[in-house]
Structure 1
Amino acid sequence: MYKKCPGPKIDQMSGRQCKEVKKLKGIVAATVTPIDHFGKVNFQEIPEFISFLLDKGIHGLFPCGSTGEGILLSTDERKKVAELTVKEASGQVPVVIHTGSIDIHEAIELTVHARNIGADGAALIPPYYYSVDEAAILDYYRSIAQEVKDFPLYIYNIPGNVKNVISPMIVVKLHAEFSNILGIKDSSMDFMNFINFKAALPGDFCVLMGNDAQIYSSVLMGGSGAIAATASAFPEPVVEIYESIKAGDLNAALKAQKIVTEIRTIFRSYPPVASYKKALEFRGIKAGVPRLPLRGMTDEESERMTRELSNLGLL
């Protein structure tokens, strides 16, 4: 069983020091990974970037996911990005690291590493490329959960990218077997999936929205918050959605949601990841460019996006 330790005690089963469980809630930034024009990770830029997000009031950090180009990084690069993020966060906000991989051995290695460096959890996409059935998906998550029974895990449902769908029944079965499986990030873009996850799982199970256009609606319906890509570049309006709802100011929350939806629309009209990094460059953060096969933005695209973001009053 998962040990929910209240302080720096020692788990008698594992011999490791336990830490208080920090479930993700609020607005969690899906962080980018700074990469230079030669395709190398700019590790030295990570502390300033994380400090920027913390200063803007972000509630959590999610490195090495889709926005962080995790599947384009080597195992060692993913580990170092995770280490630097945890170190810079220094316990101020929870850090949950994406450790999913098509290679089960890499997924386990990265998840164990996340636990060992003091992260607050790991999130994993299901297997991708091959079409697999429910039994295979269950075996994948079971193999990982068995290795880290003392460490919070989140399932990451993103069928548009990985092809394989996480159903509510899969999550129900896994949560029943492993009490350290605490939540799910739903990036299916179908709001009915969010509703179905909420209906099928216990009230304290963490259901996080992965579609930045649906944060307002999901939080109103009892969601824990969101893991948001737009929050990597413009955390302020995304945080405003959540904090205004909690303060009871739904008009301010809806206004912030409209701005975030417009930002999302702008970003999605440009090459993947590149738009987030370019927006950060406009804000003085050296995020660099995406790693191949993703491409950076042309000068014309950069100029156009500058105008679009300026028209929203963001630059």
Structure 2
Amino acid sequence: MPGVDQPGRFQGVITALLTPFTRGGQEVDMGALKGLCEWQIKAGIHCLFPLGTTGEGLLLSPEERKRAAEAVVEQVAGRIPVILHVGHISTSVSCDLALHAAATGADAVAVIAPYFYPLDEEALVNHLVAVARSVPRLPVFLYNNPATAVNSISRRVFRRVSQACDNIMGLKDSSKSLEILAGFVEEREPGQVVLVGGDGLVYEALELGAAGCVSSLSGVFPWAMLDIYRLWQTGDKEGARSAQTRARALQQALQKGPYYASCKKILKWMGLPGGEVRPPMRDLTADEERMVLEALEGFQHVKRGGTHGTP
């Protein structure tokens, strides 16, 4: 099973990178995007996951996604791995994005189940296999996010695609179900890794055998998620549980308004290049901004101005 890479490269805290847009969401702010990459690397994040759900990747045209992918890979310059999300509603576009990711120098790609149209198992397997086979030398992660994609990647689909393609490195599970996550952990083949996509379940996921997390929260508060992983790795389970509780509180604070707009507002508030969201996403109202900031007042590392990547 996957002979294309070492699974140890894809573990720990992997940031689901935000995509900064210019005013009104008109264009990707490439300078700001590169700035976020640099800040994440300096904060100690282990890997980046651009252009996924958190990165509003599905609101970008394929050409915009390619340019953003190039900017990220260029800025990172091999210092940490980059898993580029290439999922799309169309199989041919997903394959094209995967081929571009390989040519750009990404370390791996991830592909969400096609969204909107309900698909049976055979159609879903065909899609995922087609994308993986388009880049046979590149590690591929399947991305299960049934709440947003409509289509769910089951254990059986994971198994079938893994058996058909030698380059399936693993799976990112954003189902927010520990039972489903545990099933993927049991299903994985030697050399595969399972990553959890729920910031509120990272400690529990590590205990179940996940290799790490793909985190939205680390895009704003890297230290919060790194604390969980570091403490868990050193065997301090009580400390890791406490860090997980803090992370949940930070999540709840950001949920006082539209989540991704809250993330970008806090980055800007801390003096970092957050940019704006792209419509139909919307910015925070003044009341929402006030509620988010008030909810964060008790966290000592959340301060106006400066770069707060670590405690």
Q: Same fold per TM (> 0.5)?
A: yes
Aligned to 1:29: 15
1:247 aligns with 2:247: no
The alpha-carbon deviation at position 22 of structure 1 amounts to 6.2
Residues 34-53 of structure 1: pairs in structure 2 closer than 5 A = 34-39=20-25, 40-53=27-40
Aligned to 2:131: 144
SS in 1 for 2:250: helix
Q: 1:50–1:88: 8 Å Cα contact kept in structure 2?
A: yes
Residues 296-311 of structure 1: pairs in structure 2 closer than 5 A = 296-311=283-298
The alpha-carbon deviation at position 184 of structure 1 amounts to 0.5
Sort the Cα spacing of 1:101 and 1:203 in 2 relative to 1 into closer, same or farther, 3 A.
Answer: same
* TM value normalised by structure 1: 0.92
1:267 aligns with 2:254: yes
Aligned to 2:159: 172
> Residues 162-189 of structure 1: CA distance to partner in whole angstroms, max 9, x if unpaired?
1111101110111111110111000001
Sort the Cα spacing of 1:23 and 1:183 in 2 relative to 1 into closer, same or farther, 3 A.
Answer: farther
Distance in 2 (alpha carbons) for counterparts of 1:202 and 1:81: 32
* TM value normalised by structure 2: 0.93
Of the three residues 159, 165, 169, the one matched with 2:146 is: 159
Aligned to 2:104: 117
The alpha-carbon deviation at position 203 of structure 1 amounts to 4.7
Of the three residues 195, 199, 203, the one matched with 1:208 is: 195
Q: CA RMSD in A?
A: 1.5
Distance in 1 (alpha carbons) for counterparts of 2:297 and 2:70: 35
The alpha-carbon deviation at position 266 of structure 1 amounts to 2.0
Q: 1:155–1:185: 8 Å Cα contact kept in structure 2?
A: yes
The alpha-carbon deviation at position 205 of structure 1 amounts to 1.6
The alpha-carbon deviation at position 108 of structure 1 amounts to 0.7
Distance in 2 (alpha carbons) for counterparts of 1:308 and 1:246: 30
Distance in 2 (alpha carbons) for counterparts of 1:4 and 1:121: 10
Distance in 2 (alpha carbons) for counterparts of 1:257 and 1:86: 30
| Structure 2 gap ranges (5+) | 304-311
The alpha-carbon deviation at position 4 of structure 1 amounts to 3.3
Count the aligned residue pairs.
Answer: 301
The alpha-carbon deviation at position 222 of structure 1 amounts to 1.4
Deviates more, 1:283-292 or 1:149-158: 283-292
Distance in 1 (alpha carbons) for counterparts of 2:108 and 2:225: 22
SS in 1 for 2:160: helix
Identity fraction in percent: 31
Aligned to 2:85: 98
| Structure 1 gap ranges (5+) | 6-19
Q: 1:27–1:239: 8 Å Cα contact kept in structure 2?
A: yes
Deviates more, 1:201-210 or 1:173-182: 201-210
Aligned to 1:12: none
> Residues 221-259 of structure 1: CA distance to partner in whole angstroms, max 9, x if unpaired?
211100000000001010111111111122221121111
SS in 1 for 2:273: coil
Q: 1:4–1:21: 8 Å Cα contact kept in structure 2?
A: no
Distance in 2 (alpha carbons) for counterparts of 1:307 and 1:2: 47
Amino acid at match of 2:13: I
Q: 1:31–1:62: 8 Å Cα contact kept in structure 2?
A: yes
